[in-house]
Structure 1
Amino acid sequence: MQIVFMNRLSRMSGIDQEVYAQLWIGEEEGVWNLGWREFSANGDSPDSIWYEGSSWNEMLCVYRHELAVKMGDGYRPLIEGVFHEEESLTNRNQEQLKLQYYSEQYRNEAVYEELCAWRRGKASSERKAPYILASNRLLRLLSAFLPHTPEELLQIPGVGEAKATQFGMDWLAILSAAPRERNFPLNWVQEVIQEDLFSSWLYKQKEIKYKKQLERLRLHRLLLQGIESGLGLEQLKGETQVGRRELLEAVEELEKDGYSVDKLIRLELEAMPQPEQDAVWKAYGELGDVFLKPVLYKVYGENFTAAEGLDGYYERLRLIRIRFRREQIAKLGHVTNF
């Protein structure tokens, strides 16, 4: 096996004992191997094989995820830039991440719960998903730093003019009632957090990020195999242990990435009458393909209900939309060529 990459890492164990480890990537006849070995005073530990297979992308996802776990445990590399990412943190990003870290450690729990209650009520009255109104991250930031004025509110990452205008008065009514120990601006955060704890937290965020990427990659692989084998959505649900809605989102991602999913679309739409499919297609042409509900009402009527529920109808709309978008892209490419 040819070693194509190797790095040495170390961390402190106990008061003054340093523990070393080695991370390596090897290749032999198109098969990638990814491994980890620890060294101690008692001798070398056996190799831990993190990955063995032919997919470079999957190997890279495993590498990033497992390395983030180790660095979250305190290991630090001899060679920097170990995640092989194109993007790097700017000073502004670093500052915002430190604000996020601080808010996770020191949020005002009572205020956070009150903000969550506000969000539930607002989402219910406006018939919107709660996360569209405000993310958990944003509510944590608000509850940790407790802005009392519109100007302070705009210093919170994630609060722009639109959100401040829409929800600012509601938030400030909750936040200004809570006493706070520190004031704005928030440059004091840089001085009070411990860099080593922040670094470990940062690697934990990378671990979560890379785990999601790895799960997404493996789901796509299972989907492609299942589609090629002629499986339908319900069978794919059993194979992947993923809900139908998430499966459809993954199918749409595969289509965007250039993979063919038409075999699945044909299978799922074979029981749908062609005139009904044509009506959906026409509705997309008239109304656009961003929102599904107007298309549903256009095809089936404003007061349409179904005893079996609407999920199946929305699934078929999404599958037809994949074909519709593909054709629009093809037409655009044809026009561009001319």
Structure 2
Amino acid sequence: MEYADFDLEDFLKDASFRQWVYAPTPETDAFWRQFLDRYPEKQQVVDHARTVLRSIDKAVVQEYPDEEQVERMFTNVRERIQPAPVRQLPVPWRWLAAASILLCLGLWVYQKNRLPTQYEQLIDQASTALLEKVNQSEQPMTVRLPDQSTVLLQPNSRISFARDFGGQAKREVYLTGEAFFQVTKNPAKPFFVYADELVTKVLGTSFWIKAAEAGKQVVVQVKTGKVSVFARTDSRANAMQANRELEGVVLAPNQQLAFSRDEVRMKKSLVAEPEPVYPQRFEFKDAPVSRIFSELEQAYGIDIVYDEELLGNCLLTASLAEEPLFEKLSLLCKGIEGHYEVVDAQIVISAKGCQ
């Protein structure tokens, strides 16, 4: 092999040269010292090639494709960076070609060796052909499903589903990332969202799912209706999917479930800022506390637990139309000299009572 005629690309593609850079031996060191003593004019290009190779991980080089594939990659790179035929690439362009081909090789090895994500595993196991929508923009993207349900797909998110739900016993959607679902009600054909570790089952409702691949949690938040959530690894998962009733952890409006990937644990709670499901005026004059709490429960779909006998004589006058829920509760608790806390997605009121 006549290394005297090699240029930068030739050295980068040469297996013996790469082996010397990454795993030198006394024999290879001696060979290349002799070569450079004989051809000192090659010192600069050899140094350049070694610097480029050392800028990438050794594992990438160990997994290089064969020489024919490498040559095709170089050809493609040359065609992209060279607008017209020239006799010789100047040094800066040759560096660009080298960096580009190394990037191609690195991506090739990464794709070859990386494990598929849970999303990819799920869609590979699907029993029907799927259509995928990917939001690569910086704005939410609306996706309309075959049953006229809609999905507000957030940036950097992907969703897959069948082109037609007609011949299936259930509607199945696969998600990675974040999306808001508004599901068309159809009790005869339940709707399932598979988001990494969690399965969300609904009949007709609206809810958020946040399942970023790199995140520590998968979160389901309900806006309207009810959903049931369970882990794919649950021993009863198949039975819960087949049952027409909602099983698993059932979530109502303004409730959420967070699945911790590190601890493999589910936690049910209220969302950070509950919103009214059924807006009301929230204007009260000498109204019993029981009536006020009852209207809050109806408006937000949240259970409020308190001692009805203890607070039975409490009357309040309040205008609470503009305040968020937790601010409403704080104001009410001041009026009855009490306090509230959130326990297991419920609001618990504690107070001394009224005379």
TM range (shorter): under 0.3
Higher relative contact order (CA 8 A, sep 6+): 1
Higher Rg of the two aligned structures: 2
Q: Which has the higher helix share?
A: 1
TM-score, normalising length: structure 2: 0.21
